[in-house]
Structures are given as C-alpha cells and as structure tokens.
Amino acid sequence: MKATLIYGAGDIRVEEVPDPRVQHPTDAVVRVLRTCICGSDLWPYASRPATREGDRIGHEFLGVVEETGADVSRVKRGDIVVAPFAYADNTCRFCAEGLHTSCPSGGYWATDGVDGGQGEAVRTPFADGTLAKLPVGEDSELLPSLLTLSDVFCTGHHCAVTAGVGPGTSVTVVGDGAVGLCAVLAARRLGARRILLMGRHRSRTDLGRDFGATDVVPERGEEGIARVRESTDGDGTRAVLECVGTLPALETAFGVVRDGGVVSRVGVPQYEDGPVGPSMFQRNLTLTGGVAPARAYIEELLPDVLDGTVDPGRVFDRTAGLDEVPDGYRAMADREALKVLVRP
C-alpha cells in the first residue's frame, strides 16, 4: 500500500510500504477513508533533521475496519470508525477517568513501529479501546466533520473544558489555525458569552466568526493584548485558549487573561521554560490544558456533529489525494491552505 513518510524538513514522500496486518490479538487493520494534515505536522516539516530512512507520519484518520485480531470484540469488519490521535486501551485507571493520553499501554501513531495515519491503511493497536464507531456510511457528507473528532475538534474542546468555559464565560482564543477555530466552536457550544479570536488571516477569522467569535483581534503582541484589554473593561477574559504552542503565544495568553483566570493551552509547547514567576503568582493565574485525550470526548461530541449542530469539518479548505500530500504540506506551510483533507 501507499503511505506518507517524512525524510526531513520539507521532504515529504508518498511511497509503497508493506501492507499492515494484525500483529497482536488486540489489533485491527483500518482502511483509511479520510485522513488529513495537522498543524502539528508542520513542526517536523519545518525543522526535522534529514534522515536516510523516512518515518511514517500522520495521526488523524477514519475508515473501515478490514481485519481484527482474536481479542477484538467491540469493533468488527465493516464498521466505520474514527481513531483519536493517540491510541489507548480504554480500560486502565487513566483511561477510566478520561486521560487516555496517559494510558500506560497507549502511544502515538507513527512512532515505535506503529503506522502513521496518512496512508491507505493503518494497523490500530488496542482496537477495542482506540476506535470509536460512527453510524454513517462510506459516502457520508459528514466524513470531514467526523474526521475532526480524531484531533482538532476534540483538542479545541479539551482546551475549552480545561479552561473551565461554561455558560457566560468570557474567552480569548489565541491562534486562528484549525485548532483555534475549533476552540471557538467548542467555547460557543459550551455557552461562552464573549469570544475574542486573536488572528490575522481574514479567511480564517471569518470562519471563526461563523463558529461563534464575537470579536476578532488581528493585532499581535503588546498591541493585541492592549486591544483585548480595551475590549474587556481593562481586565482581560476569564478563560484564554492558547492554540499555537509558541512562547510568544503563551506570553500573549498571560497578557489577556483576567486576574484569577485560566490559560489553557493545546498547542504543543515549542519551549522548555515559560513565564510562571511572580507576576503569574501575584495575579493568581492558572496554567492548564495539555495534549487532548480525544478518545474521552468522541461520544460526547458525536451527536452534535451528526445532527449538524456543529460543523467543524469547515476547517478543511482543500482536498487532496494521497499523492498530493507533499503539496498539501507545502500549501499549509505557505498558509495557502488552512487544513488539507486527504482521500487516499
């Protein structure tokens, strides 16, 4: 079959790889109907050292179960399923409390010999725990929105939930990428009153308005902080959803949060140390969030996707075949595309 590999910064190739097969009794093989490129894939695309052997890449997919191991009972051949961006057994003490990303048996796609999502098929560890069944057909028009349950919509939701967003909360979202826009959607879904979206890409912030942003702040840094504060009686918002992952984004988040408020982040930190000294302490700020346990949220969010209450699939503004994946990376890196949907 074909799959996507990364050989280093800017070097994405689609190549023949061995067909995936059940290796453990808890495995399933899923034929991929839809996958996509993630903003977080752009980090290695920007900076990964070159290697002679490529590594698989991609962590978002939905598809059809083709083969199951002997111990798999919850999903069966022919089921349409979506995979969260981390696999997990869904039975351990961490999974039981919704923290699937800390599952001792779990892990990430495209690491440690596990397939990446950007390919024609994927061997799925702990299939019973990992995969969520979708009550749709292979030709459903909802596939793009359902695919966002793999990562970006669940991640935006995790950001809003851990920030404590509820009815009436004032929220700033830092970043107008797919996760930021999904965070807007999730915050509105949870009842946020005022949602200020910090972003400067008009086509993205327009979608952000459709998703529920009440204000768009295109300025960055100190200027952006001043704009948010002016718009909120000088105080900032109670919740800030940091959906970028850079240190300046975190600094902006601390700048726009109200004293006593919460900064939640779901962009993978591109820093080791952050500004958590006396100022944060004096203001009683909370820093929370983290890698989203997407699996924990799929069943909760699924009904709203199925009935069209939310349409997170609108973050996809380009569709590509598998052979076009390298150009999809380029287009996202060049900001030509917000998020590229892939039909293998």
Q: Name the site residues for a copy of itself (rule: CB under 8 A).
A: 93-94, 97, 99, 101-102, 162, 235, 259-260, 265, 268-269, 271-278, 280-291, 293
CA–CA dist 220, 69 (Å, integer)? 51
Cβ nearer to a copy of itself, comparing 10 with 107: 107
Please say which residue, 29 or 103, places its beta carbon nearer to a copy of itself: 103
- We find the least distance from the C-beta atom of residue 34 to a copy of itself, in angstroms, to be 27
CB of 40 to a copy of itself, least distance (A): 12
Residue 46 C-beta: closest distance to a copy of itself, Å: 16
User: Cβ of residue 241: shortest distance to a copy of itself, in angstroms?
Assistant: 14
* Residue 85: closest CA among 140, 41, 49, 31: 41
- The CB-of-277 to a copy of itself minimum distance in angstroms stands at 4
**For a copy of itself, the closer CB: 53 or 233:** 233
Query: In angstroms, what is the minimal distance from the CB of 95 to a copy of itself?
Result: 11
What span, in angstroms and rounded, lies between the C-alpha atoms of 199 and 6? 29
Burial (CB < 10 A; 0-12, 13-18, 19+), residue 85, is buried
Q: Is 217 in contact with 228 (CB distance < 8 Å)? A: yes
Span between the terminal Cα atoms of the chain, in Å = 10
Residue number, 149 or 285, with CB nearest to a copy of itself: 285
Smallest distance from a copy of itself to CB 155, Å: 12
Characterize the bridge pairing of strands 132-133 and 80-83. Answer: antiparallel
- Cβ 187 to a copy of itself shortest distance, Å: 19
Which two structure tokens, joined as six digits, stand for 54?
């490529």
- DSSP line for 111-174: STTPPPSSBSEEEETTHHHH-EE-SS-TT-TTHHHHHGGGTHHHHHHHHHHHTT--TT-EEEEE
Is the Cβ–Cβ distance between 146 and 136 less than 8 Å?
A: yes
Other CB atoms within a 10 A radius of the CB of residue 173 amount to 36
Q: Round to whole Å and give the CA distance between 81 and 134.
A: 5
Nearer to a copy of itself, 85 or 316 (CB): 85
* Closer by beta carbon to a copy of itself, 216 or else 244: 244
Cβ proximity to a copy of itself: between 137 and 278 the closer is 278
Cβ(159)–Cβ(189) under 8 Å? no
Q: Which is nearer to a copy of itself, 64 or 280 (CB)?
A: 280
